[in-house]
Amino acid sequence: MGRWPLHLQSRPRHPAGHPHPPCRAGAEDGHRQVSASEAGRKIAIVLFNLGGPDGPDAVEPFLFNLFNDQAIIGLPGIVRTPLAKLISRRRAPLAQGNYALMGGGSPLLPETRKQADALRASLSAALPGDEVRCFIAMRYWHPFTEETAAEVAAFGPDEILLLPLYPQYSTTTTGSSLKAWNAAYRGSGRSRTICCWPAGEALLEAQARLIEAAWSASGHDGPVRLLFSAHGLPEKIIKAGDPYQAQVEATAAGVAARLSGQWDWKISYQSRVGPMKWIGPNTEEEIHAAARAGLALVVVPIAFVSEHIETLVELDIEYGNMARREGCPAYVRVPALGVDAGFIAGLADLAAQALGREGLDSDGSYRCPGFSKCPRAAKSAA
């Protein structure tokens, strides 16, 4: 598998047999070239992600910010805030121990900075004459959205592209980040949003290539199961119309279709907390099932594009140890996409095309079942 840029096609690809029709929201035929009159623009690319504590003392306030988000705990503030204080205080010691395994803090910001630098270099080459800067807005720790909004305003952009580093849309991630941005930004510039890219060609091709490389490097050749593990959500969020689960399924199907040969593959969900019913199956359950069947495991962080606590601790250490205890013949974890050249080139191509359109809401190849409730749907249909 080679290096594939991400292209929006007039007749987009679509996972075979997928029950939902292709979405035409924001799409247009062909590629739009930047005209001479548009050269010399100041362009701000705002990359959104979760954020992570940068040291042991930051763990508890980071957790408080997370659980105090109404998108995470949908209760009135008078109830949510004291509950978030209680949860964060109780969870902090265990979380500090997990972050200690990574040197005391999260690597997410340094990893995202590498992606921002790589994306800026690629976009600057694609948009000669324009001044491109990439900014990072983290939801629950520095640089907070409000801090980044002030930086972007000081830059004085002509164009702003909001690009969440979550391939699949959820109200709990992308939705929360965009809401915070809209509340914080008061500067100049015409704004565009790429809200999701679950079936982006570069995402699918790069992920398939990393899977095959990781399995080949492991040296194992026996029966194997490919496990796409994504962060889970309470079931009630999905039932309320959140498209996340359907988009995870679209991504996994698209990656599997690009692998050479036939793979036994499944989707699972990790990081379940609290008493509510979560979407499944759970990743732990799938590890047990693979071990009982005598299958090696290749685990793919399908909803994460950067290494962080859920990949480096939960997948690598906790689930890796579990697989070995259960007797899996092999446990191979595929790395996150990070600064993979094909992946970054695809993001740059998607961003460059979005900057030449009036609006763009997805990669144009997938319509989620909750599209009518999407906060961008009404604008797209107009």
Indicate the domain borders of the chain: 56-100, 204-333
* Helix 108-126 with 341-354: angle, nearest 10 deg: 60
Question: In Å, what is the CA distance from 81 to each residue of 47, 66, 72, 272?
Answer: 27, 11, 12, 21
Q: What is the pLDDT of residue 273?
A: 86
Provide the pLDDT for residue 357.
Answer: 59
CA distances from 227 to 251, 266, 300 (A): 13, 5, 6
Alpha helices by DSSP H, listed for 293-335, are 309, 320-326
Q: What is the pLDDT of residue 194?
A: 92
**pLDDT for position 275:** 85
Q: What 8-state DSSP symbol labels residue 278?
A: B
Q: Per-residue pLDDT for the chain (382 aa), expressed as one digit of tens each? A: 333 232 222 223 333 333 333 333 333 323 334 444 456 999 999 999 999 999 999 999 999 999 999 999 999 999 999 999 999 999 999 999 999 999 999 999 999 999 999 999 999 999 999 999 999 999 999 999 999 999 999 999 999 999 999 999 999 999 999 999 999 999 999 999 999 999 999 999 999 999 999 999 999 989 999 999 999 999 999 999 999 999 999 999 999 999 998 899 999 999 998 888 999 999 999 999 999 999 999 999 999 999 999 999 999 999 999 999 999 999 999 999 999 999 999 999 999 989 885 444 444 333 444 555 554 443 333 3
Task: With beta carbons less than 8 A apart as the criterion, state whether 159 and 41 touch.
Answer: yes
Q: What tokens were used for 129? A: 């004459």
Please give the pLDDT value at position 33: 43
Looking at residue 158, its amino acid is: D
Find tokens 């091709």 and name the residue: 205
pLDDT score recorded for residue 22: 33
Pick the CATH number of 204-333 from 3.40.50.1400, 3.40.50.970, 3.40.47.10, 3.30.565.10: 3.40.50.1400
Q: What token pair was written down for 318?
A: 């906790």
Q: Are the C-beta atoms of 156 and 185 separated by less than 8 Å?
A: no
In a 3-state reduction of DSSP, which class is residue 90?
Answer: helix
- Cis-peptide, bond into residue 107, ω within 30° of zero: no
Tell me which DSSP letter residue 241 carries: T
> What is the end-to-end Cα distance of the chain in Å, rounded?
39
Which three-class secondary structure state does DSSP give residue 115?
helix
* pLDDT for the residue 38: 56
- Where helices occur in 240-328 by DSSP H, the ranges are 244-257, 283-292, 309, 320-326
Q: Quote the pTM value.
A: 0.86
Q: What is the pLDDT of residue 25?
A: 31
Burial label, 49 (beta-carbon count in 10 A; 0-12, 13-18, 19+): buried
pLDDT (0 to 100) of residue 356: 80
Check residue 61 and give its pLDDT.
98
Residue 262 exposed, middle or buried by CB count within 10 Å (0-12, 13-18, 19+): exposed
